[in-house]
Structure 1
Amino acid sequence: MATLLLVRHGRSTANVAGILTGRTPGVDLDSVGISQAERAAERIAAVPVVAVVSSPLARCRQTAQIIAEHHPLQTQLEPGITECDYGQWQGRPLKELAQEPLWSVVQNQPSVAVFPGGESLAAMQARSVEAVRRLDAEVEAEHGAGAVWVAVSHGDIIKSVLADALGMELDLFQRLTVDPGSVSIVRYGTTRPEVVATNTDSGDLSWLRAADPVGDAQVGGGAGPESAARS
């Protein structure tokens, strides 16, 4: 099956300011975010990527462009992996939002959280998982089972996709961490999804060239990739 590299955009100016950016236009990477995107791009450059897909928002497009420069590819925009619609929460300081009654629901029972004037976290997960699985099937159909592709998105989006692949209830997805510029790896196998890595920010990825299609789980854990450089 194809291999999906989920990349969170690099740090943005709003991340530094402690603002819930949401879909606010014109929010760019800061200098640290550019460095994080460049580091992710250098790691991914060792892999023959066949597609780079991005959320339409600027911070993701900027990250995706840095990654795509290492490959003869044009970035494809996918609305299905855009940021959650936080509605009336968008643009407000996180410290202020933490005082809202809904904050506790978002933290402890996200499956029932609905942002005022915006989207529910359940709806966010449903459309992002649908988009990722649809794109993964398209990549495999066009490029074969060994294909590797990149999706550049946002923290909550990637956490929800990872939770789905792990078979976790959405109410548990806040247990996952997805840092700016991190790379997580998922492969949708013939038997089940396989979460190969989460929230990595360093380490060689060239071993993905020899990744085998996912089938039955290896009893005892298997031998792993040959490359000792994996981390």
Structure 2
Amino acid sequence: MARPLTLLLVRHGQSEWNAAGLMQGQTAHVPLTELGHAQAAGAARELAELHPGALVSSDLRRAVQTAEHCARATGLPVTTTPALREQGYGVLEGRPSRELWGVVDWTDPHWAAQGGESLAELHARVGAYLEQLCADPPAEVVALVTHGDTIRAALAVAAGLGPDAMPAVTPHNGTVTALELVL
């Protein structure tokens, strides 16, 4: 008998590099701004009302800081995993995002910057993690604190869509997106 697994996808609060318009990718050390902490606290309050039974976060600092707000609001311990990291942009990380529109091939799911990760690779990583989570869920409602492109990949995987059909819109910083999977 199939049973639903509810995922509450929390996008981290605004980071210093979000505010500066820099490509973050998997750069690990970028902290939240003051606004980012306020957004994370708001997401944490919303999350607490949804009663997750487990809290898992990307291991990148901006997500961990957001997850700490969620942990205080829910009373849950935080587990971290690199599986929930943002798409890696390799040599492009730290560069102004506005400079990359002519560099990045946003239409090709197999394009990757040197040392980075393609959308297809991100999609496969997120899909493998969700499959593992479904096989052995820590709770019926699981909060995942993660990143914009990772959330887009999770939504595509759940809908049975490939990396070429990921949603175009990235959730705003400090928002909670509910997703139901059937085990």
Counterpart Cα distance in 2 of 1:150 and 1:4: 6
CA distance in 1, matches of 2:112, 2:128: 19
Q: Deviations over 1:148-201 (max 9, x none)?
A: 1100111111101111212333223252331111111111115xxxxxxxxxxx
Question: C-alpha displacement at 1:11, in angstroms?
Answer: 0.6
Give identity over the alignment, percent. 37
Moved over 3 A (4+): none
Which residue in the other structure is 2:153 paired with? 160
- Between the two proteins, the alignment pairs up a number of residues equal to 180
The CA deviation at 1:26 is 2.1
Specify the alignment match of 1:64 in structure 2. Answer: 67
Work out whether residues 13 and 27 of structure 1, in 8 Å CA contact, stay in contact via their aligned partners in 2. yes
State which structure, 1 or 2, has the greater radius of gyration over its C-alpha atoms: 1
- Unaligned ranges ≥5, structure 2: none
One-letter code aligned to 1:161: A
- Aligned counterpart in structure 2 of residue 34 of structure 1, from 33, 37, 58: 37
Alignment-derived partner of residue 142 in structure 2: 149
TM-score, normalisation: structure 2: 0.91
Counterpart residue number, 1:226: none
Q: How far apart are 1:137 and its partner, in Å?
A: 3.3
Amino acid at match of 2:142: W
Residue pair 1:4, 1:136 contacting (<8 A) in 2 also: no
1:78 pairs, out of 65, 77, 81, with 81
Q: Which amino acid aligns with 2:143?
A: V
| Kept after mapping to 1: 8 A contact 2:123/2:162 | no
- Provide the secondary structure at the position in 2 that maps to 1:95: helix
Cα-to-partner distance string for 1:75-128 (whole Å, 9 max, x where unaligned)? 00011111222111111111111222xx2x22x23x221221222221111111
Q: For CA contacts below 8 A with separation 6 or more, give which structure has more relative contact order.
A: 2
Separation in 2 of the partners of 1:47 and 1:185? 10
Counterpart in 2 of 1:124? 122
| Gapped regions of structure 1 (runs ≥ 5) | 191-231
